[in-house]
């Protein structure tokens, strides 16, 4: 294992890989402090370009680097203009913006950067520590267990990523059905291709991801015209913010653990991690009357957890091939395209690549925190870039990226169709992450089901691990729906 | 048209898509259709449950939803045309690429 760890480190420190990591950190940070363009949209934008790369280390350096730091830079907008730069920094506003109003913007920012850095490193350490535990577990699994796990992944993401479990499940299954479009290799049947040769290869995930995420974000961003809040002054207390994190080190560790746990569970993304961590801080800390009025502990809790989440997110992604959320689903797609095989291989023959991911998480967090701390003032000015400067280049990149999927005119038609679907899903509160995850896992699900049947007939349903996983699957579907329904019934009663 | 009624149309659309997928897949060999029939049937039932919820929501329109939301909500576009303006730009670009871009670029 030590050898693989060293191989992973030397791999990501190669000049080319390191350059790509810096590029990823730069793009991830830029996206973080430009409100409106989310991390998944940018990852979707990068997919068509990344998929042409041959070296898996470069892909890891670029995409994991980008994914790891999105929540670090997003603290700028959350604290200074009360607009979350990413979904993971919403809770930061609660105390970060009041601090900025009180003239302590610099203190809030430095506390958030250091908390993000340490939280991110904590997440990577947990990923590292989980490897010896995961290895025997994953190697004992066969196609039936993996089939149930893929089902579990889609259902968990469907149920948990949003406030509407049924809509989430519907979206997840819709994603699986979209993944079935094309020529079926097992039977030779053309599925949903309507005699159009374009569909034989299936619908490219790049089109779906760009349409579902990027265009609705662009439309949303365009709708912000004139709506950007007044910026607060940078303020003072830069060094005090750094000290604050070390004073409240125990809070940081607790909230980082929450972040890792939330990341590990498929479906709960960084948008949940920061709220859970913030709620935990408010419930457990002494002298809680200042929370919501500008307490630095609120910033530390939120920012520590959202970066720690990334390490937890990669545990199921790498070990089982079940992504924890949208970003990891897109990263997983790029991994598969360049020959990285998530699953048992990542813990055996490709262990060096798993370590490359861990090292990238650590180094990217250090670079991002350093950039944000050194260039805090100039970066703060970029946050206020008007929408008409951002939207046109993003739209151009989206169209170029979509056309690069197959270099076919239908790519653009597909983009517009999925953009419309994404727009309406967002408008009517349908979670979009399950659809992408369903598409990513759809092929695997079908393959594992077929392998299970051909190898074991129906006997695979009687395997003890399968039974346990099925029970967990049922519990994970029924429990959230039951509690959501209970809450739905209780709310009108309490209102009455 | 109110937002609640629009939701009913959207859910109905998804339900119809699922139904059409099941109808098309029913004649295929089992190995090609098993996952579609299995999950598609579940989705059709779920879509019907969602439709029922949408109808209930439409009837109780105006009631405040107090549940927490984990996805950043879309901004309500203001003005008469809402987000139609940006959509017009996007479709304009799409047609311009087809009518001008491809003609100029292709030999």
Q: How far apart are the first and last CA of chain A?
A: 61
The ranges assigned to domains in chain A are 2-495
pLDDT in tens, B50-76: 999 888 888 876 554 444 444 444 555
Residues 6+ apart with CB under 8 A from A209: A40, A43, A44, A47, A330, A333, A436
CA distances from B84 to A214, A282, A395, A396, A457 (A): 17, 42, 16, 19, 54
Return the pLDDT at B2.
73
Q: For residue B89, tell me if it sits in a domain.
A: no
Q: For residue B52, tell me if it sits in a domain.
A: yes
Return the pLDDT at A494.
42
Q: Which residues are bridge partners to A191 per DSSP?
A: A182
Which among A216, A427, A446 has CB closest to B35?
A: A446
Does residue B12 contact residue B53 with C-beta atoms inside 8 Å? no
Between CA A320 and CA A310 the distance in angstroms is 16
Between CA A71 and CA A75 the distance in angstroms is 7
Q: A362, exposed or middle or buried, with CB in 10 Å at 0-12, 13-18, 19+?
A: buried
In 10 A of CB A425, how many CB atoms? 23
- Chain A CA closest to residue B37: A177
Q: For residue B26, tell me if it sits in a domain.
A: yes
Q: What percent of chain B has pLDDT over 90?
A: 30
Q: For residue B18, tell me if it sits in a domain.
A: yes
Q: Report the residue of B5, B22, B24, B32 to disrupt the A interface, i.e. the one with the largest count of A CBs within 10 Å.
A: B32
Beta strands at A190-191 and A182-183: parallel, antiparallel or unpaired: antiparallel
Which pTM was predicted? 0.76
Q: For residue B45, tell me if it sits in a domain.
A: yes
Return the pLDDT at B18.
92
Q: Per the CB < 8 Å rule, is A189 touching B28?
A: yes
Q: A263-272, A276-285, B60-69: which range is least confident on average?
A: B60-69
Does residue A434 contact residue A161 with C-beta atoms inside 8 Å? yes
Q: For residue B79, tell me if it sits in a domain.
A: no
- Chain B CA closest to residue A451: B31
What is the interface pTM, i.e. ipTM, of the complex?
Answer: 0.86
Between CA B71 and CA B64 the distance in angstroms is 18
Q: For residue B91, tell me if it sits in a domain.
A: no
Residue range of the domain that includes B57: 1-63
Q: How many domains does chain B have?
A: 1
DSSP annotation of A191 reads E
In 10 A of CB A204, how many CB atoms? 22
Q: For residue B87, tell me if it sits in a domain.
A: no
């Amino acid at each position: 294992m030590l050898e693989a760890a060293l191989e992973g480190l030397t791999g990501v420190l190669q000049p080319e890989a390191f350059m790509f990591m810096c590029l990823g950190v730069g793009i991830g940070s830029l996206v973080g402090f430009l409100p409106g363009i989310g991390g998944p949209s940018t990852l979707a934008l990068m997919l068509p370009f990344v998929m042409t790369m041959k070296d898996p280390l470069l892909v890891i350096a670029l995409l994991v680097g980008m994914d790891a730091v999105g929540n670090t830079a997003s603290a700028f907008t959350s604290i200074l203009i009360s607009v979350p730069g990413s979904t993971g920094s919403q809770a930061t506003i609660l105390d970060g913006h009041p601090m900025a109003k009180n003239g302590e913007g610099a203190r809030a920012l430095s506390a958030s950067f250091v908390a993000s850095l340490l939280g991110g490193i904590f997440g990577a350490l947990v990923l590292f520590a989980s490897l010896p535990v995961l290895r025997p577990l994953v190697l004992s699994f066969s196609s039936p267990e993996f089939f149930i796990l893929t089902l579990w992944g889609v259902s968990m993401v469907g149920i948990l990523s949003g406030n509407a479990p049924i809509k989430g499940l519907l979206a997840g299954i819709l994603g699986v059905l979209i993944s079935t479009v094309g020529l079926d290799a097992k039977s030779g049947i053309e599925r949903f291709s309507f005699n159009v040769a374009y569909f034989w290869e299936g619908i490219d995930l790049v089109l779906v991801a760009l349409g579902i995420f990027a265009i609705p974000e662009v439309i949303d961003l365009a709708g912000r015209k004139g709506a950007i809040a007044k910026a607060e002054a940078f303020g003072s207390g830069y060094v005090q913010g750094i000290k604050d994190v070390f004073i409240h080190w125990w809070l940081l560790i607790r909230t980082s653990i929450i972040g890792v746990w939330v990341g590990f569970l498929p479906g709960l993304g960084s948008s949940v991690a920061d709220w859970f961590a913030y709620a935990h801080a408010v419930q457990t800390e002494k002298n809680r009357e200042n929370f919501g009025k500008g307490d630095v502990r609120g910033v530390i809790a939120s920012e520590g957890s959202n970066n720690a989440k990334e390490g937890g997110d990669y545990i199921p992604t790498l070990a089982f091939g079940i992504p924890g959320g949208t970003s990891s689903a897109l990263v997983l797609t790029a991994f598969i395209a360049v020959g990285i095989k998530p699953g048992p291989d990542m813990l055996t023959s490709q262990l060096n690549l798993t370590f490359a991911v861990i090292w990238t998480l650590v180094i990217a967090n250090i670079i991002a925190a350093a950039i944000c701390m050194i260039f805090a003032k100039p970066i703060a000015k970029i946050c206020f870039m008007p929408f008409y400067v951002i939207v046109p280049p993003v739209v151009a990149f989206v169209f170029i990226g979509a056309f690069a999927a197959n270099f076919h005119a239908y790519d653009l038609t597909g983009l517009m169709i999925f953009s419309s679907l994404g727009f309406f899903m967002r408008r009517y509160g349908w979670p979009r992450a399950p659809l992408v995850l369903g598409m990513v896992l759809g092929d695997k699900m079908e393959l594992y089901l077929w392998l299970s049947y051909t190898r074991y007939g129906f006997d695979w349903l009687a395997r003890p691990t399968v039974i346990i996983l099925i029970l967990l699957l049922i519990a994970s579907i029924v429990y959230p729906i039951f509690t959501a329904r209970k809450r739905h019934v209780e709310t009108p009663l309490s209102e009455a | 048209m109110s937002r609640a009624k629009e939701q009913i149309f959207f859910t109905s659309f998804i339900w119809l898509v699922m139904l059409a997928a099941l109808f098309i897949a029913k004649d295929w060999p089992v190995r090609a259709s098993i996952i579609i029939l299995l999950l598609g049937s579940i989705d059709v039932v779920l879509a019907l449950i969602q439709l029922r919820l949408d109808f209930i929501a439409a009837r109780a329109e105006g009631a405040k939803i107090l549940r927490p939301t984990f996805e950043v909500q879309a901004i309500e576009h203001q003005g008469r045309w809402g987000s139609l303006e940006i959509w017009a730009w996007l479709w304009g670009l799409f047609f311009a690429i087809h009518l001008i871009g491809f003609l100029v670029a292709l030999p």
